[in-house]
Amino acid sequence: MTGYAAATATHDGATVTVTLKSVNHRFLDLHLRVPAEVDALEPKLRQTLRSKLARGHIDVTVMVERPGAVEVHFDRALVRGYYEAFDKLRQEVHSTAEPDLNALLKIPGAVNVAPSTAAGESQLEELERLLFTALGQALEALDKMRRHEGEVLCRELLDRAGALNVLASRIETLREGADRRIYDRLKQRITELTGTAATPERIAQEAAILAERGDVSEEIQRLKSHVGQFRDTLNAPPDGGETGKRFDFLLQEMNREANTILSKTSGDGAGLEITDLAIQAKAEIEKLREQVQNLQ
């Protein structure tokens, strides 16, 4: 689900701002951009995010502003290793290019920025407190925005599920008169082919075989049952999460029933109407499938 939130925590001139951006994704995909001075807090930051968020592509940006000096440390061994590897490659390809020191310093881990040791442990602890205070506020704002979107989406899903249930009921109504139509059509067809009227027993036997082959009453009932379970889950999501997987399963089963109805339906008379309704049902199921990917 989509959302945006930002929060800032301030104390004694130190400011920490956390920005969260969320877009739809089947799983939880975290992307963090944090300043070097809070690198050590990244594992705890990720753990907090995972405890609050279940799905979505989440961009997290942390900005720190605070008074006091910082210490810049260079990983000389790392930079020297890259420089020597570059120089060796340059000699092998007979190039006159010189390595760019600025580019070397952009290598991950080449430069580390940390608060001055003169700052003391108390200031470092204060920085952590500000970070998670801002994170908590941002998560609360993001959750509020995503909940609002979820309510709108839930109403749309309920409407589509209702439309799917109506289609299933219309198919059921058409199928109720199928046996009589099959009997009349067989009687007329046999008369046309043989030139004589067929016995009622013969017609009844052939009609029963055709009716059994085209009987979709079980598929219709299962389809309506799955739609009911889908709506119940929307109205009262189960505890413990996994709602998305439940929706995926129900939609998979709905699609299976719609395909079976199509395969059992002949393309003449009422069969054409049933085929059209089953195709409409598949279209609604696909729209539901697309939308449930946005739910947490």
Q: Does residue 63 have a pLDDT over 80?
A: yes
Task: Annotate 193-251 with three-state secondary structure.
Answer: HHCCCCCHHHHHHHHHHHHHHCCCHHHHHHHHHHHHHHHHHHHCCCCCCCHHHHHHHHH
Q: What is the pTM of this model?
A: 0.58
What three-state secondary structure class fits 278? Answer: helix
Query: For residue 214, is pLDDT > 90?
Result: no
Round to whole Å and give the CA distance between 264 and 181. Answer: 16
pLDDT the model gives residue 179? 53
295 near 2, Cβ under 8 Å?
A: no
Quick check: 172 pLDDT over 70? yes
Q: pLDDT at position 65, please?
A: 85
pLDDT of 225 reads 93
Greater confidence (243 vs 228) lies with 228
Q: Which CATH class is domain 152-292?
A: mainly alpha
To the nearest whole number, what is the mean pLDDT of the chain? 80
Greater model confidence, 166 or 24: 166
Q: Hey, is 6 helix, strand or coil?
A: strand
Question: Which position has the higher pLDDT, 280 or 12?
Answer: 280
Which of 103 and 145 is assigned the larger pLDDT?
A: 145
Residue 222 pLDDT > 80, yes or no?
Answer: yes
| Predicted local confidence at residue 131, as pLDDT | 93
In this predicted structure, the answer to whether residue 52 has a pLDDT above a threshold of 80 is yes
Percentage of the chain surpassing pLDDT 90?
A: 30
Q: What pLDDT is attached to residue 9?
A: 93
Structure tokens belonging to residue 235: 């109205």
Compare 190 and 266 and report the one with higher pLDDT: 266
- Fold topology of 3-69+119-145: Ribosomal Protein S5; domain 2 (3.30.230)
Indicate if the pLDDT at residue 239 is higher than 80: no
- Given a cut of 70, whether residue 13 has pLDDT beyond it is yes
Q: What is the pLDDT of residue 69?
A: 56
Mean per-residue pLDDT, 171-183: 67
What are the residue ranges spanned by the domains of the chain?
A: 3-69+119-145, 76-105, 152-292
221 pLDDT more than 80: yes
Q: Distance of CA 214 to CAs 178, 210, 267, 276, 286, Å?
A: 9, 6, 11, 16, 25
Please report the pLDDT score of residue 217 as a whole number. 80
Per-residue pLDDT band at 127 (split at 50, 70, 90): confident
Least confident piece of the model among 13-27, 47-61, 142-156, 207-221: 207-221
Answer yes or no: is pLDDT of 62 > 70. Answer: yes
